[in-house]
Amino acid sequence: MKSVEFFDWLLTGWKHESTTPPQDTKEMMVHDILMILLGREIDKAVNHYYSKYLNYSPSVYPYQIEIVKIERIGGYRTFHFFITLEATPVVGPHISVGKDRLTFEIAPTIIPSQIKLKKFEHLETHELPPHWQDIIKQNER
């Protein structure tokens, strides 16, 4: 242990540990690519919902989206899907405003973008801190 680490340990009880970041997997990369590709449609749906209640558009980051369900329509190797996601939109320094479930239909026959929002469910409303209350249009969502 170096003297700086030893000094930190003496003052705070800090323990120096060598940490490595988690390994990236093919599944995680595919998830992240899919969230980037769906991002515009997710943002559009989230902004449409929250524009009724907030005068500030929340953001949805790819790492704040969870895949709940993926269903292939028509059997093996068909290219028609339903995907259900749960997203946590945020404002400012990642202050969550709620939790939402979005279901998209994805197919090459959907013109023009191959993606269509089928269902939007607002699951939770999160209370904003006092210094963010001014973005609320209405108190009830």
Q: Is residue 18 part of a domain?
A: no
Question: How does pLDDT run across 47-71, given as a tens digit for each residue?
Answer: 999 999 999 999 999 999 999 999 9
Q: Is residue 19 part of a domain?
A: no
Q: Is residue 7 part of a domain?
A: no
Contacts of 45 (CB under 8 A, 6+ apart): 100, 102, 117, 120
Q: Is residue 119 part of a domain?
A: yes
Which residue range forms the structural domain that includes residue 130?
Answer: 39-141
Count of domains in the chain? Answer: 1
Question: How does pLDDT run across 18-55, given as a tens digit for each residue?
Answer: 677 788 999 999 999 999 999 999 999 999 999 999 99
Q: Is residue 17 part of a domain?
A: no
Q: Is residue 33 part of a domain?
A: no
Average pLDDT over residues 82-97: 97
Given this model, what pLDDT does residue 131 score? 94
If DSSP states are collapsed to H, E and C, what string results for 124-138? Answer: EECCCCHHHHHHECC
Q: Is residue 54 part of a domain?
A: yes
Report pTM. Answer: 0.80
Q: Is residue 138 part of a domain?
A: yes
